[in-house]
Structure 1
């Protein structure tokens, strides 16, 4: 009997460090990585670029179904154009959070996400990787961090990229996004019953990665 390709899921709120940690864990194991949030952000970017009504659930799902996406080591391309920086804009992230509860959109992206499960293994980060997309994952992580710490991290990231950022506004946006993600009816943000909760508020990225690798070594 063939065993399924192993998966580690890393879920958690915005700016908890999921993306960076997922890439580092995947690198350490020599596995593939899925940034599921990027697919929602790419959909949001395409909705903005194509001037689609965000409240038109079918039109948004159609956009997601037909995304021309290409992930590469440095980021991602949309319709063959570099989109790595564009999808990190707060406007795009906020719209992605607004679009995420759309069940037609989630259904359109589900198959695309599961297709990333390829040998030798996959590290998948997002909001519902452990609860919905890869329910049979061998290790599920729910990565949390204090909202103040997350807002400061995001502010520092943006300033380092030359993007002006206001900590107070980021904190308000983050609290609003957390509430929206947690309270939504479809795939709300919550840890899977069998997930390990890792609080990275006072951990460095290296320490967070090591704690996940230690958990994996005990699976």
Structure 2
């Protein structure tokens, strides 16, 4: 039986947090595809490439290997054998990941790896095009979203708790720009799959969203 779950949605909607909790509840392997793209972003930044350098990024793809491993139950992301997990949440990395992911060679490389993972074990995978492109046959597809204002508030709070200086209006503007790029890119744009269930988390707690997804999954399982 296909037990895979695909979770799509815009940046900051809580996909990773929710997917990790659902994975624990159902005994699935959590695959953070956003982290994989961010690892590629680290690679491109390390080479001194700019997000606009499509030719350079396309050429560089062949030299990058991104893999996922679980150590003591915690996901670790490796870039060419180096653990880059601690760098994944940097703003520059996120921006490069979002902007470079519009290029077909980048998406092709990631899609191949993600499909391989899902073919070997039951997974819950989150990203921008999981239900539409990567795992179109997933047992359950979720489109998780929240208002731009709420997503900006969450990110602002997260950064403050880490002691990082930040500007809430700048964060909100960055999220709007990311949404625009993700939804209008030529290759695999962000959109809700026809058979995906829309879950708006703007006014829902994390636990409420998790319970909703678990209930939907149980319905699918019969």
Count of equivalent residues:
216
Counterpart of 1:156 in structure 2 is 157
Distance apart, 1:61 and its partner CA: 4.0
Does residue 210 of the first structure (1) align with residue 208 of the second (2)?
no
**What is the rounded CA distance, in whole Å, between the counterparts of 1:63 and 1:71 in structure 2?**
23
- Give the TM-score normalised by the residue count of structure 1: 0.91
Q: Is the 8 A contact 1:52 1:59 kept in 2?
A: yes
Q: For residue 218 of structure 1, give the secondary structure of its aligned residue in structure 2.
A: helix
**What is the rounded CA distance, in whole Å, between the counterparts of 1:178 and 1:33 in structure 2?**
24
Distance apart, 1:84 and its partner CA: 2.3
Gaps of 5+ in 2: none
Q: Is the 8 A contact 1:57 1:104 kept in 2?
A: no
**What is the rounded CA distance, in whole Å, between the counterparts of 2:150 and 2:51 in structure 1?**
31
Q: Is the 8 A contact 1:70 1:80 kept in 2?
A: no
Counterpart of 2:86 in structure 1 is 85
Q: Is the 8 A contact 1:148 1:171 kept in 2?
A: yes
Distance apart, 1:104 and its partner CA: 1.4
Question: How much is the aligned-residue C-alpha RMSD, in angstroms?
Answer: 1.8
Counterpart of 1:98 in structure 2 is 99
Counterpart of 1:173 in structure 2 is 174
**What is the rounded CA distance, in whole Å, between the counterparts of 2:110 and 2:143 in structure 1?**
21
The 4+ residue runs of structure 1 with deviation greater than 6 A are none
Counterpart of 1:41 in structure 2 is 38
- Give the TM-score normalised by the residue count of structure 2: 0.90
